[in-house]
Amino acid sequence: MKVNSFKILQAEEAVKHIKDGDTVVFGGAGAGHAVPDKVMDALGARFVKTGYPRKLKTIHPCGIGDNDSKGLNHIAHEGLIDTNIGGFWGNAPKMVTLAKENKIKGYNFPQGIMSHLMRASASNKPGVISQVGIKTFVDPEHGGGKINEVTLEDLVQRIKINGKDYLFYNSFKIDVAIIRGTSIDSEGNLTMEEEVGSFSMLSIAQAAKINNGIVIAQVKNINKGHCIPGQVKVPGIFIDYIVQDKEQGMTFISKFDQALVHREKYYTDKEFQLEGIKRIVSRRAAMELYKGAIVNLGYGMSDGIPVVAKEEGITDKMIFMIEQGASGGIPTMGLNFGAMYNPSSIIDDGYQFDFFHGGGLDIAYLGFAQIDKYGNVNSSRFGNVLTGCGGFIDISQNAKKLVFCGSFSVKSKIQITDEGLKIENTGKFNKFINHVEQITFSGQLALENEQHVLYITERAVFKLTNEGLVLIEIAAGVDLKTDVLDMMDFTPLIDKSVKIMDSSIFRIGCLGL
């Protein structure tokens, strides 16, 4: 291989190679997880200064941003973006605003499908065929993943194969790939020794190169000599321009934490604090864990389950996996979610989703914003809030057992006692409604697929049946009519042997799992 076939440029110079109308893909995820933020910042700054480039189609398999100004927020400018296609939108509020104001076109597709579309694009395939997304807002019969009124082009179709319904997602012709790693060697080979995930970096780069496009890679270190071939994540033959950021952190929150990439390194558990409703829901949900289970956790309320497992000393009895690619450790919480302490492995997210799509997960814990009388769940768009689905659809349609975790209502006030709850304010908005605003999870499809589905809140637990939602548990101290039924827009079925939730959930101390 020719040494130094790549060019080392300042970020401001590198982004000058992006032309009007280009299709640009960004690697990385969440709050700085392998996010090429310096390059993204330079791209946005160039547009503000010069008005160029214009009308880009931007693609990001994962959400990218800090809920404020970084990541996709750097490039959220009317005129710079024509269309944005993402797996998750929630941590890029400035991009969300453009979409809601119809200033850009936008699509939201499942994160796993987006990762697989990068592979399809890299191998010049027409697209991806999958049942993921059927009967959700991604299905053309329910909107086709379009974000707003100005988004008209259909990028997903319903097709039949051997009498079964599938969705066909179109692949992309990529002009520019913007990726990130930790280091390059003298030949431009990229390694990711300090990255919490490798995501779809290789596929994104390959997809650009087969379309005669360019690849811009942001790295922390530029090394002499050669790295070990097996450590290479993206070969130098695919990389055109290198941008160095010597101050590059692991995430927007963690400058460098060895425990996020090493099996045995110590980490502090000070962030693992569960309080209030989240503590109650997490403890009740953890009771569904069992020895040998392969378990996925979603962002938000459900990321508390591993904390309970850690408190109970049972983390070695099961395997936690997150869609960003890490397995075998304890997932981080809050904005830093997407990394994992002491992972046993970190693989490309596309391969992680292969396993998820194939039905490999025994249990998936996910959050919810709304639940309706049919068992449908909305976690992607409600009221004036647009977050997107992320990996929710990929995971929820294929796990053997689903446990949806959340507060019973919005802005309620409770008092926790040793036996149960005292409801001081039942809440401002109902979350159990007649029809969800957007279907992120289809109860009907779950019943067809014979999935076991629970909905766990601090006040009550429900299960999905062919007859509808059935109330199976209620917390001690909760009035069934005032605190539960009156705060639901529909009346659920009530199990004849409805149980009182285990009082140990509400007390201080271990559950004895």
Top-level CATH class of 7-244?
A: alpha beta
d(CA 215, CA 213): 7
Burial of 480 from C-beta contacts in 10 A (0-12 / 13-18 / 19+): middle
For residue 269, the model assigns a pLDDT of 75
Q: What share of the chain is helix, strand, coil (3-state, %, to 5)?
A: 25, 30, 45
Q: What is the pLDDT of residues 112-162, one digit of tens each?
A: 999 999 999 999 999 999 999 999 999 999 999 999 999 999 999 999 999
- In the block, which residue shows the tokens 């695919």? 238
Structure tokens at 142: 């329910």
Smallest Cα–Cα separation from 457: which of 369, 378, 373, 389?
Answer: 369
Determine the Cα–Cα distance for residues 260 and 266; give it in Å rounded to an integer: 10
Q: What is the mean pLDDT of the chain?
A: 96
Question: 432-453, pLDDT tens digit by residue?
Answer: 999 999 999 999 999 999 999 9
Residue 435 and residue 382: Cα distance in Å, rounded? 12
User: Which residue in 9, 90, 74 sits closest to 40, CA to CA?
Assistant: 74
pLDDT at 4 over 70: no
Please state the rounded mean pLDDT for residues 492-498.
94
Please give the average per-residue pLDDT across 311-315, as a whole number: 95
Q: Strand 326-327 to strand 345-346: parallel, antiparallel, or no bridges (unpaired)?
A: antiparallel
- CATH entry 3.40.1080.10 includes domain 276-505: yes
271 pLDDT tier (thresholds 50, 70, 90): confident
Pick from 294, 286, 297: nearest CA to 323: 297
Domain ranges in the chain are 7-244, 276-505
Residue 472 tokens read as 């199976």
Can you tell me the mean pLDDT for 485-498? Answer: 95
What mean pLDDT is predicted for residues 239-255? 95
Tokens of 254: 């963690």
How does DSSP assign 231-279, residue by residue?
G-SB-GGG--EEEE-TT--SSSS-S--GGGT-SS-----TT----HHHH
| pTM for the predicted model, two decimal places | 0.96
For residue 132, give the H/E element and its range: none
Band of pLDDT at residue 272, cut at 50, 70 and 90? confident
Distances (CA, A) of 240 to 9, 123, 190, 323, 364: 10, 20, 12, 29, 40
Residue 78 DSSP label:
B
Cβ proximity of 196 and 337 under 8 Å? no
Q: How confident is the model at residue 50 (pLDDT cuts 50, 70, 90)?
A: very high
Residues annotated as catalytic (active site), given as ranges: 323
Do 7-244 and 276-505 show the same overall fold? yes
Tell whether omega for the bond before 53 is within 30 degrees of 0, i.e. cis. yes
